[in-house]
Amino acid sequence: STAPPSPLTRGNEEVFPFPEISNEELQEINQFVGPVEKFFAEEVDSKKIDQDAKIPPETLKGLGDLGLFGMQIPEEYGGLGLSNTMYARLGEIISLDGSIAVTLAAHQAIGLKGILITGTDEQKAKYLPKLASGEHIAAFCLTEPGSGSDAASIQTRATLSEDGKHFLLNGSKVWISNGGLASVFTVFARTEIVEKDGQVKDKITAFIVERDFGGVTHGKPEDKLGIRGSNTCEVHFENTKVPVENVLGEVGGGFKVAMNILNSGRFSMGSASAGMIKKLIEMTAEHACTRKQFNKKLSEFGLIQEKFCFMAVKAYVMESMAYLTAGMMDRPGLPDCSVEAAMVKVFSSEGAWACVSEALQILGGLGYMKDYPYERYLRDSRILLIFEGTNEILRMYIALTGMQHAGKILTDKIKEIKKGNIGLAVQELVNKVRDSTGRKVDYGIMEERGGLVHPSLQESGKKLEENVYYFGTTVRGLLTRFGKTIVDEQLALKRVSDIVINLYAMTAAISRASRSISIGLRNHDHDVLLTNIFCTEAYFKNNYALAQLQKYADENLDDYIKKAAKQILEKRAYICSHPLDRTF
């Protein structure tokens, strides 16, 4: 019958059981974790970095010595050659300082990923060793003043020279992380290519540009709200000579390269945010258990306890999602997990912002002072919702990719119904009646014996199954109503993507908790408790969103919202009269 859209079409084998790493790998990781934690605890002064808006060169050298500049570069080129899971693990520690985390991420997750993914062997051998040691830093140059997500408005041009050996690069890029420090840039520019049928078109090409090629200048570092230690500036290219061998991928194939790079670096945000929140829970718990007001410790007040539970649940779910995605990506032969990575990014960025805000709230006035690190964490975590694809855009991506997938499966069925196939229509009617009178959904997760999930998670499992089933029917309804014009219905798509993110989060949490209780990890009952709390909350939120997505639903305020927004934007101001105005 109805098939729920991806990622749940992946099948239960991929998400249950929770991906594990072998004991040797675990030992290896823990060997890395120790020195890195020590480095961050002792030699990184986050407050000074934030105040000076600069990372001191000794710190950068220390990071390079630890090998953190080449975490995902294979060992033959001098890097650590870590898998995605291990990269996520180290990301938990690095995120303790936001500026360093962003500098490293801009360097390896996007800066040199292009060379890693699409580079030829010569390019890899030429650039990766120096980049791995930290001697050269990489940057990713795509954004321009007129072009944020819109690839069509890129103005930077690369023209082939007469002898055909060089490209001349002209243009300017804006908001480039590591722009001032980097010596290797991955630049995207328009080139003219002649297609097979003779048409001349402007397509985007990716280039590896070294600062030594000449003509590369950068502006002064931008004064930012958070991650002030990271160097963000404009980069200008004036007649920079780029040899033809430095083209990444093929000429005109820059779009795919850009998409692959952007889609592959996102999942680590989950573990990074989780690491930061765990540290925050420690610090705030310390405070809450010692400070006394009204002769009671703060930790005895219900509202404060609720905040701690909220932070713990979010951290747990973020970790689960991040490591599930990393595990799926590490598994050989799996198709790309870009949708899952996008879901991790959206959930983690919003969760991190909410949790840091709550942690600051627990401290009250002290949290607001610069003497304590909470305000720095708050400012640093605000950028998480914006960079690497703004959350709004990623929601559209998640929803539309799912719709595309579901649409392909459901097109035939919907067309049959529209044509008026009586038998099918009757079957649909019967299904609808059974749905509305309550149906028992069983996907096989919760069987008595041989089920995929531990029995103590039965309730959560049932809720997940029910949500998945009704989500499937709702998606079918949406496609019948809107068809391919659903691209324009952003408010409906936002709800769809919220539901999908919640479903994936529930899956990840249930999977991890099931593993935890099955093998008997320490505090496994706490795992189960957090999972049940999260699943219940997400279940209700999903039901509400599903109710909003029905046609003529009372909960659906989309039309009113659009009408109000239209009136406001027409006058470009708030249009109500002042409350004190009179007519006579």
Partner 1 sequence: MRLSWARAFPLRLWGGCRGPKMRRVTGIEWAARPMCHSSSDAPEPPSDHGSQNTPRDEEQGGPAAFAAALEELERAPGRRLGRLELVAAALAAMPALGVARQLDAYNRLLRLLPRGPWVPRGPLHRLFAPFPRQQECGLQVLEQMERYGVMPDAETRFLLLAVFGPRSRPVRKCQRMLYWLPRMLHANPYPLPAQLPPPGLAAACLGLRRIANDPDARLSVYQQPQPEQGDNEGSTQPYIVGIQSAEQQELLARHGPEHPVFVEGPFPRPPPPRLFYYVLRGDPLPPHLREPPPDPERSLYYPLYLDLDLERGPWDDDEFDVNEVEEGPVFALCMAGTGDQRTLAKWIAGLQQTNPVLGQTPVIFRLGDGDSSAGSPGDGDALHLEGSRAAELEPPEVAWGRRAQGEG
User: Considering the rule CB under 8 A, would residue 482 count as an interface residue with partner 1?
Assistant: yes
User: Considering the rule CB under 8 A, would residue 186 count as an interface residue with partner 1?
Assistant: no
Q: Which is nearer to partner 1, 99 or 338 (CB)?
A: 338
- Find the binding residues for partner 1 in span 384-403 (CB under 8 A): 389, 393-394, 396-397, 400-401, 403
Query: What angle (nearest 5°) sits at the alpha carbon of residue 346, between those of residues 342 and 350?
Result: 165
3-class DSSP state for residue 197?
coil
Q: How far is CA 161 from CA 188, 238, 241, 413, 444, in A?
A: 18, 14, 9, 54, 63
Interacting span for partner 1 (CB under 8 A) from 118-126, 166-174, 484-492, 520-528: 484-492
Q: How far is the CB of 584 from partner 1 (least distance, A)?
A: 5
User: Considering the rule CB under 8 A, would residue 583 count as an interface residue with partner 1?
Assistant: yes
User: Considering the rule CB under 8 A, would residue 171 count as an interface residue with partner 1?
Assistant: no
Helical H segments across 167-267, by residue range: 254-264
Tokens found for residue 302: 């219900």
For this structure, is 319 an active site residue? no
3-class DSSP state for residue 295?
coil
Interacting span for partner 1 (CB under 8 A) from 83-91, 258-266, 293-301, 366-374: 258-266
Tokens found for residue 65: 């010595």
Q: How far is the CB of 239 from partner 1 (least distance, A)?
A: 26
Q: Pick the binder of partner 1 from 48, 165, 331, 408 (CB under 8 A).
A: 408
User: Considering the rule CB under 8 A, would residue 499 count as an interface residue with partner 1?
Assistant: no
Q: Cα(430)–Cα(91) distance, rounded to whole angstroms? A: 51
Q: Pick the binder of partner 1 from 1, 30, 51, 149 (CB under 8 A).
A: 149
Pairing of strands 232-243, 247-248: unpaired
Q: How far is the CB of 142 from partner 1 (least distance, A)?
A: 8
Cβ atoms < 10 Å from Cβ of 420: 8
Phi, psi of 140 (to 5 degrees): -115, 115
User: Considering the rule CB under 8 A, would residue 548 count as an interface residue with partner 1?
Assistant: no
Q: How far is the CB of 567 from partner 1 (least distance, A)?
A: 10
Q: How far is the CB of 493 from partner 1 (least distance, A)?
A: 10
User: Considering the rule CB under 8 A, would residue 563 count as an interface residue with partner 1?
Assistant: no
Q: Counting Cβ atoms within 10 Å, is residue 365 exposed (0-12), middle (13-18) or buried (19+)?
A: exposed
Tokens found for residue 397: 């991506």
Q: Pick the binder of partner 1 from 8, 100, 131, 204 (CB under 8 A).
A: 204
- 62 close to 32: Cβ distance less than 8 angstroms: no
44: left (phi over 0), alpha (psi -120 to 50) or beta: beta
Cα atoms in the Cβ-side hemisphere of radius 13 Å centred on 545? 24
Q: Which is nearer to partner 1, 140 or 534 (CB)?
A: 140
Q: Of these residues, 14, 388, 428, 555, which one is catalytic? A: 388
Q: Which is nearer to partner 1, 341 or 530 (CB)?
A: 341
Q: Pick the binder of partner 1 from 13, 24, 150, 212 (CB under 8 A).
A: 150
User: Considering the rule CB under 8 A, would residue 526 count as an interface residue with partner 1?
Assistant: no
CA end-to-end distance (rounded Å), the chain: 66
Q: Cα(45)–Cα(56) distance, rounded to whole angstroms? A: 10
Q: How far is the CB of 264 from partner 1 (least distance, A)?
A: 14
Q: Which is nearer to partner 1, 314 or 345 (CB)?
A: 345
Residues in contact with partner 1, counted by CB under 8 A, come to a total of: 39
Q: Pick the binder of partner 1 from 294, 560, 574, 584 (CB under 8 A).
A: 584
Site mask, partner 1, residues 314-353, x = CB under 8 A? ----------------------------------------
User: Considering the rule CB under 8 A, would residue 430 count as an interface residue with partner 1?
Assistant: no
Q: How far is the CB of 394 from partner 1 (least distance, A)?
A: 7
- 184 close to 127: Cβ distance less than 8 angstroms: yes
Tokens 């540009």 -> residue? 209
Q: Which is nearer to partner 1, 352 or 479 (CB)?
A: 479
User: Considering the rule CB under 8 A, would residue 415 count as an interface residue with partner 1?
Assistant: yes
User: Considering the rule CB under 8 A, would residue 106 count as an interface residue with partner 1?
Assistant: no
Q: Cα(194)–Cα(200) distance, rounded to whole angstroms? A: 5
Q: Pick the binder of partner 1 from 165, 292, 484, 562 (CB under 8 A).
A: 484
Q: Pick the binder of partner 1 from 7, 226, 407, 472 (CB under 8 A).
A: 407
Q: Cα(518)–Cα(70) distance, rounded to whole angstroms? A: 36
Q: Cα(488)–Cα(491) distance, rounded to whole angstroms? A: 9
Q: Which is nearer to partner 1, 146 or 483 (CB)?
A: 483
- Please, what's the b/e burial string for 186-210 (b: 16 or more CB within 10 A of its CB; e: otherwise)? bbbbbbebeeeeeeeeebbbbbbbb
User: Considering the rule CB under 8 A, would residue 551 count as an interface residue with partner 1?
Assistant: yes
Q: Cα(370)–Cα(453) distance, rounded to whole angstroms? A: 46
Q: Pick the binder of partner 1 from 151, 168, 244, 283 (CB under 8 A).
A: 151
- 218 close to 202: Cβ distance less than 8 angstroms: no
* Sequence-ordered list of residues with C-beta below 8 angstroms from that of 412, at least 6 positions apart, any chain: none
Annotated active-site positions, please? 388
Sites of contact with partner 1 (CB under 8 A): 142, 149-152, 203-204, 255, 258-259, 262, 389, 393-394, 396-397, 400-401, 403-404, 407-408, 411, 414-415, 418, 479-487, 551, 572, 583-584
